[in-house]
Structure formats: C-alpha cells, structure tokens
Chain A
Amino acid sequence: MTDFGSVLFVFVLATFIGLGVIRRVSRLLYTPLMSLTNAISAIAVVGSIVVTGAEYPRTIRILGAIALFASMTNIVSGFLITDRMLKMFKKQ
C-alpha cells in the first residue's frame, strides 16, 4: 500500500516552491524558461525506464520504450536549446 498522503503533501509544497521561484524569473528569459521546465518535467523518463526495463510483458515494454524515447528527446533537445538561447543574452 502506497502512502498517497505524503505524495499529496509533496505536491502541494512543490507547487508553492514552483510558484515562488518562477515568479522571480527574469521576463527576458520566458522562452528559455519554457524549454528548461520542459526538459525538467521529462523526468517522466524514470517512469519510462522502469516500464521498459523491468520483467514485464513485451507489449507493455514497447509502450515504455516509446515513452522513454519521447522523454529522452525532450531532455536532450530541451537542455541543449535552453543553453543555446541563454548563451545569446549579453549585457553589452
């Protein structure tokens, strides 16, 4: 039996932290912010790894592998393009 109460607790706290931190993000950087949070939320990759790699029926693992591919694409392209954009912001 899993402890949903504590997961809910984590969710509420994380949302408050998120709202607090994101509110202070520079308005200049909203586009890279979006690609960065996108890469971060591709942490769904950990769920995909379990579904793909554990001893499950083949069809289940195929679904997992597609999900893993999609998440990995987001991680790689998200972080790379964020860095590419951030490099361009210069003061002078």
Chain B
Amino acid sequence: MTHLVGELAAVIATALFIFALYWMNDPKTARHAVVAGVTGMTVAVLATWIQPEIVHHGWIFVAIVAGFAVGIPLSRVPLTAVPQRTALSHAFGGLAAGLVGTAEYFLWLGQHSAELTPFRTSALVAEVILGFLTFTGSLMAAGKLQEVRWIPQRPVTYPGQNFVNLGVLGLAVGLGVYLVLYPTAAWSGQVFIAIAALALIFGVLLIIPIGGADMPTVISILNAYAGLAAVAMGFVLDNKLLVTAGALDGSSGLILSIIMCRAMNRSFTNVLFGAFGKAQPAALKGEQKEWKQESVEGAAQLLEQARSVVIVPGYGMAVAQAQHKVRELYDALTKRGVSVKFAIHPVAGRMPGHMNVLLAEANIPYSALVEMDEINPEMPQTDVALVLGANDVVNPAARYAKNTPIYGMPIIDADKAKTVIAVKRSKNPGFAGIDNELYVLDNTWMLFGDAKAVLGELVKQFAGGGIH
C-alpha cells in the first residue's frame, strides 16, 4: 500500500515539476511555478518518509531542520550575490549526489554485493564523479564570484594544464572502468575512494583557469552537471522521479550553456580549456586615440535633449549596486518624455539573466528590458546610448579584430547610436584585456567614476540643478 502511494506521489511530483517549468515561459504566470515546485517536492518527501523501511525519524528531522536553518538565510542574500548563491547551491547538489553514491556503494559492497551489477556500478561511478567534481568546481566558482581572498580571481594557467586536467579525469574514469569490471575485489573500496578524490581534485583544476566573464557559461555547465549527477543517482536507486527531475535540471543547464556560448561565439571546450583571460592583449590597428571626457552637467544635457535613450548595463552596474540609481534616472527621463529602454546582452553580468533580475529589483518594468537581437536594429535611430559598466559586450572590435579573443562575439551596437555616453570605473581595459575602441569614437563621451556615484550626480542634475 505505502509502495503504491510512493509510485503515485512520484507521478504527481513529476507532473508538477514539468508544469513549474512550463509556467516559467511568462513572468505573469511564473509565480505559479514556485507553488507547483513546492507542492511536488512536499509530496515526494512525505511519500518517501512514510515508507516502512524508514525507521530513524529523528535523524531525518534534524537534517531537515538544519537545511531550513541554512537555507532561509541563503535565500535572503542581496541580489547582486545571486551568482555566488547559485554556484553554492550547485555545490550542495553535487555534494548530496556524491555522498549518497558513496554511501550506497559501501552499503552494497558490505552487505549485498550482488546488487553491484555492471550497469549499476557504472551509474555509481558516474554519480560520484559528476557529484564530487560539481561540488569542488562550484565551490571554487562561488569563491571566485564572492572574491574570496585566497582564491585567485584572474585565470591561473600553466604549461600542460589541459594535459594535467584531462589526465586526472582520465585516471578517474579508468579506475571507474576497473570498478565496473571488479566491483567487489579486495581493493575495490580503495579504488572507489580514489575515484572520489580524483573527482574532487578535477573540480578544482577545472575552475582555476576560468575568469569572471566566463562565469555565466561555467555556472550553466555546472548546473547541467548537477542535474546529470541527480540522473545518475536515479539510475543507481532505480528511481524514475529522480531521473526525471535530474533530466529537467540537466536540460536546463544544457540549454543555458548553449545560449551563453553562442552569445560569446565560443564552444564548450573553448570555455573550459581555453582560459579566456590569459589571451594576449592584442594591439588594435591605428594609432592610440584619446578619450573625450564629459562633465556630469554635459551628460545630463545630452540625455535631456534626447528623444530615445538606450541604457546598456554590465557587470559594473552590479558591482556598484547602481540599479536603484538607474531607476531614478529612468524615472527622471521618462517623466520628461524621453523613451528609455535597456539593452540586455545574454552574457552581461556573472550569470544568465543577471541584469534582468537586478533591474526588476529596482522596479523597472520588464517591458523596458530588451534583448540584444531586438534592440540592435533600433540602435541607429537611438539618440543616446548610455553604457553602464559594460565593456566587452559593446566593443566594436568584436566585429573584425580577428586576433582578439572577443572576435565574432555578437555585441550590442552601442556605437551606432548618435551619441554614446560611457560610464566606467577606471581607465583599465575590460576583462578580455583589450582596448575598447567604442570609448575613443568621435561620438563617444566618457564619464569616469563608480556607476552609482556618477548616476547619483546625474539624477541630481535633473532633480534640482542645471536642467529645467
């Protein structure tokens, strides 16, 4: 009877999870997704908990309470910290899969070695490798995003790096094959632990050469791995609900990875093994031109006289926490009849959709957030493009400079606007280490300073001072 309840609960939970993802296709219905997801999860947890083989209720209760105690504060982080929270949750997902796989293997090894069929052992090896590499890889990614001091922000590379990385992974897979062939041999327990250790090391090695601008892609790939680890656990435990939910997560990570890679004109392997940031700073053709600096008053005047303004936000806006000041500027301009839109590049920020969430937090209506492909045809008719802490995603060199790492990457055509105002924290080049010629175009004016401070000054101009 309870078994039947379990089967039924799994079907209900599966259906609810699929509905949850379906409702994410529109911001209007998206909140139903959370209700469906929570309901499905509750049904699945309760149906598992009432099974007759579960006897240690106290342990389960304590672990669940601890999960709430950590999970609730983690859900209240500032939205600028969402990329690191996401990476951390991939780490937890990977850890859970790795630990359950380890527990199951030693359980079967000790008591029911007949359970270790070749197929199941393969699934166990996949679960443990994927789970543990996702665990350390995501921890590293979270550390880099949080700018933890002892984790280098810049990509760390050394000669033969790919050889070492692939060697470690290859060794883990090789030992996995051994385990499938001899699941219960005298040394199998040690081999299993070695596989887990190699996977943990591989996760660290995989992320060391990756820099900030690649994070949207890397987080998506780790998302896919976390999903696949759950799928592998489903194979191990013969649990279709786990397989389904893991497959949904995995396909989401896969699609996001593909979108992110396309938005950078790079391949998976290039992201994972290419070490974007180490690319030699390429010299652009032509002589070095000078920036033209503009005063806040001048910039306010340019914006005031415009009929249409397109704001291009980037990671600089997130770092400066400038989204609320952006909202004030948006209000000041729309009140004066200026049409204001936001041009969102798919890889702007540190994770997919990062800019949208920050701007939505500042109460900017989502109808004003426009994707790159839709805004680009409008750029030539735009009076002012206000570039806000974005750099590589607006660099015209991506169109033709073959010797730069950003070559071929689709960009927002900010340079085609009649006037460009670029707010930039410092005069350093962008993440890719190449000069941005947008800044030295004839129609570009630079505003140097922290995005939040500069916008504050701009808004003040509209509120009381120079502009009427």
Q: Which residues of A contact B (CB under 8 A)?
A: 1-4, 6-8, 10-11, 14-15, 17-19, 21-57, 59-61, 63-92
Determine chain A's interface SS by DSSP, over half rule. helix
Residue from B20, B67, B110, B371 in contact with A72 in the complex, judged by beta carbons closer than 8 Å: B67
Residue from B34, B48, B93, B233 in contact with A82 in the complex, judged by beta carbons closer than 8 Å: B34
- Of residues B26, B49, B67, B226, which shows the largest number of chain A Cβ atoms within 10 Å of its Cβ? B67
Whether the pair B243, A41 counts as a contact (CB closer than 8 A) is no
Residue from A28, A47, A56 in contact with B366 in the complex, judged by beta carbons closer than 8 Å: A28
Chain A residues with CB under 8 A of B207? none
Tally the A-B contacts, defined by beta carbons under 8 Å.
375
The smallest C-beta distance from B388 to any residue of chain A, in angstroms, reads: 18
Residue from A2, A19, A73 in contact with B238 in the complex, judged by beta carbons closer than 8 Å: A2
Residue from A3, A54, A76 in contact with B67 in the complex, judged by beta carbons closer than 8 Å: A76
Partner-contacting stretch, out of B78-86, B155-163, B423-431:
B78-86
Chain A residues with CB under 8 A of B250? 15, 18, 41
Asked if B106 lies at the interface with its beta carbon under 8 angstroms from chain A, I say yes
Chain B residues with CB under 8 A of A77? 70-72, 74-75, 85, 89
The answer to whether A86 and B27 touch (CB under 8 A), given A40-B17, A44-B233, A54-B54, is yes
The smallest C-beta distance from A23 to any residue of chain B, in angstroms, reads: 6
Report the 9 A-B pairs with minimum CB-CB distance, sorted nearest first.
A72-B67, A76-B71, A30-B353, A18-B251, A41-B249, A80-B75, A31-B353, A30-B352, A14-B247
The answer to whether A43 and B21 touch (CB under 8 A), given A38-B89, A69-B63, is no
Asked if B175 lies at the interface with its beta carbon under 8 angstroms from chain A, I say no
Whether the pair B103, A34 counts as a contact (CB closer than 8 A) is no
Whether the pair B56, A53 counts as a contact (CB closer than 8 A) is yes
Asked if B354 lies at the interface with its beta carbon under 8 angstroms from chain A, I say yes
Whether the pair B53, A50 counts as a contact (CB closer than 8 A) is yes
Asked if B360 lies at the interface with its beta carbon under 8 angstroms from chain A, I say yes
Cα separation A91 to B365 with both chains bound (whole Å):
5
Chain A residues with CB under 8 A of B72? 76-77, 80
Whether the pair A57, B110 counts as a contact (CB closer than 8 A) is yes
Q: Closest chain B residue to A28 by CB distance?
A: B356
Cα separation A85 to B85 with both chains bound (whole Å):
13
Residue from A2, A50, A72, A79 in contact with B38 in the complex, judged by beta carbons closer than 8 Å: A79
Chain A residues with CB under 8 A of B132? none
Asked if B338 lies at the interface with its beta carbon under 8 angstroms from chain A, I say no
Chain A residues with CB under 8 A of B66? 69, 72
Whether the pair B238, A3 counts as a contact (CB closer than 8 A) is yes
Chain B residues with CB under 8 A of A40? 17, 20-21, 37, 40-41, 245, 248-249
Partner-contacting stretch, out of B94-102, B142-150, B178-186:
B94-102
Whether the pair A34, B351 counts as a contact (CB closer than 8 A) is yes
Asked if B1 lies at the interface with its beta carbon under 8 angstroms from chain A, I say no
Beyond contacts A22-B252, A37-B252: 17 other A-B pairs, Cβ-Cβ < 8 A, are A11-B247, A15-B250, A19-B251, A25-B25, A30-B356, A41-B226, A43-B41, A51-B107, A54-B53, A63-B102, A67-B96, A72-B63, A73-B71, A73-B89, A78-B89, A80-B76, A81-B85
Residue from B13, B49, B120, B357 in contact with A43 in the complex, judged by beta carbons closer than 8 Å: B13
Selected A-B contacts with CB under 8 Å, 17 pairs: A2-B120, A26-B26, A27-B353, A28-B356, A30-B356, A36-B34, A36-B37, A44-B96, A46-B45, A48-B63, A51-B103, A53-B49, A66-B95, A71-B92, A78-B71, A86-B31, A86-B34
Whether the pair A7, B75 counts as a contact (CB closer than 8 A) is no
The smallest C-beta distance from A24 to any residue of chain B, in angstroms, reads: 4
Whether the pair B93, A74 counts as a contact (CB closer than 8 A) is yes
Chain B residues with CB under 8 A of A39? 37, 41
Residue from B67, B233, B255, B357 in contact with A23 in the complex, judged by beta carbons closer than 8 Å: B255
Whether the pair B67, A34 counts as a contact (CB closer than 8 A) is no
Asked if B266 lies at the interface with its beta carbon under 8 angstroms from chain A, I say no
Residue from A35, A63, A73 in contact with B92 in the complex, judged by beta carbons closer than 8 Å: A73
The answer to whether A17 and B57 touch (CB under 8 A), given A40-B41, A57-B110, A72-B71, is no
The smallest C-beta distance from B51 to any residue of chain A, in angstroms, reads: 8
Cα separation A57 to B17 with both chains bound (whole Å):
33
Asked if B104 lies at the interface with its beta carbon under 8 angstroms from chain A, I say yes
Whether the pair B60, A90 counts as a contact (CB closer than 8 A) is no
The answer to whether A88 and B371 touch (CB under 8 A), given A68-B64, A81-B75, is no
Whether the pair B256, A30 counts as a contact (CB closer than 8 A) is yes
Whether the pair A49, B45 counts as a contact (CB closer than 8 A) is yes
Chain B residues with CB under 8 A of A11? 231, 234-235, 243-244, 247
Cα separation A67 to B353 with both chains bound (whole Å):
29
Cα separation A61 to B107 with both chains bound (whole Å):
10
The smallest C-beta distance from A44 to any residue of chain B, in angstroms, reads: 5
Residue from A7, A37, A86, A88 in contact with B235 in the complex, judged by beta carbons closer than 8 Å: A7
Chain B residues with CB under 8 A of A21? 18, 21-22, 25, 248
Chain B residues with CB under 8 A of A35? 82, 85-86, 89
Whether the pair B44, A43 counts as a contact (CB closer than 8 A) is yes
Residue from A34, A55, A78 in contact with B252 in the complex, judged by beta carbons closer than 8 Å: A34
Asked if B173 lies at the interface with its beta carbon under 8 angstroms from chain A, I say no
Whether the pair A64, B227 counts as a contact (CB closer than 8 A) is no
